[in-house]
Chain A
C-alpha cells in the first residue's frame, strides 16, 4: 500500500509570512498532484508534477517534486488570508488506470 505523509497537519501563520508544507512517501510515484480543498467542496487541482526535481510556480506558490519522485513540497510566499484551506498531495502511478492516493492534508490558516 502506498502512503503519503503530509506535514505539518495544521499550520497557523500571520499574513505576509512564508511557509512550506511537505509530502513524503517511501514509494515512487510517476506523478504527484497538489489540490486545495475548501470545507464541503471537492479537491481542486493546483498543479501536477511529473519529472524528478521539477519545480513549478503558480503565482506565490512554488511546488517541487523530489529527485527520487518520492516527496514533494509546497512553498507559499507572503501568505494571504485567501490562501486559507486544506492542501492535499496525491500520487498516482502509470500502468492501469491510476487510482490516486491522497495524503491527509495540511490545514492552513492565514490570520490577517
Chain B
C-alpha cells in the first residue's frame, strides 16, 4: 500500500538552529500538508501546498517556517531558528483530492526535540 515517508524519525537540535524535515508524499497525490502534535495535545494544521505554492497556512506557520518541493518527489518543512516550543511530532500528509473526501495519508512523523 502506498505510504508517505518521513525522515528523519527523530531530530534533536539546539535552540536557534535551522532544521529541515523531509517527506516523500504518495506519488499520484497533488495536495501536501504539514501538521504538528505537541505531546498530549491535538494534531494541529500548519500548512497546505498545491501546485508549488502555499494554499493555506495557520497562525502557527509564521516567518520562521517555510515549505518547499525541491523536486518531483520531496516535500520539506524548514524551521529557520528553532525555539523550545517547536518541540513536537511533525506529520506530513498528502491527499489525492482537494476536498479531502478521500482522506489524508499521514507519514509516521518526525519527532523534533529542541534543547
Partner of A42, one of B48, B50, B91, B98: B91
Q: Which of A33, A40, A42, A47 has the most CB of B within 10 A?
A: A42
Question: What are 23 A-B pairs with beta-carbon distances under 8 A?
Answer: A31-B99, A31-B100, A40-B89, A40-B108, A40-B111, A42-B4, A43-B43, A43-B104, A45-B103, A45-B104, A45-B105, A48-B101, A48-B103, A96-B55, A97-B31, A97-B50, A97-B56, A98-B100, A99-B33, A100-B45, A100-B100, A104-B41, A104-B42
Q: B residues 12-34 with Cβ under 8 Å of A?
A: 31, 33
Q: A residues within 8 Å of B by Cβ?
A: 30-31, 33, 35, 40-45, 47-48, 50, 88, 90, 92, 94, 96-105
Interfacial chain A residues near B108, Cβ < 8 Å = 40-42
Interfacial chain A residues near B56, Cβ < 8 Å = 96-97, 99
Give the distance to chain A from B43, nearest Cβ to Cβ, in Å.
4
Interfacial chain B residues near A35, Cβ < 8 Å = 106
Instruction: Assess whether A103 is in contact with B42, with CB atoms less than 8 Å apart.
Output: yes
How many residues from B make CB contacts under 8 Å with A?
30
Given the known inter-chain contacts A31-B101, A50-B101, A99-B56, please indicate yes or no for A40 contacting B109, CB distance below 8 A.
yes
Q: B residues 52-96 with Cβ under 8 Å of A?
A: 55-56, 58, 89, 91, 93
Partner of B98, one of A47, A98, A101: A98
Interfacial chain B residues near A42, Cβ < 8 Å = 4, 91, 93, 106-109
> Which residue on chain B has the smallest CB distance to residue A92?
B100
CA–CA, A44 to B108, complex, Å? 9
Instruction: Assess whether A97 is in contact with B55, with CB atoms less than 8 Å apart.
Output: yes
CA–CA, A44 to B109, complex, Å? 12
Give the distance to chain B from A65, nearest Cβ to Cβ, in Å.
13
Partner of B109, one of A41, A47, A90, A101: A41
> Which residue on chain B has the smallest CB distance to residue A38?
B108
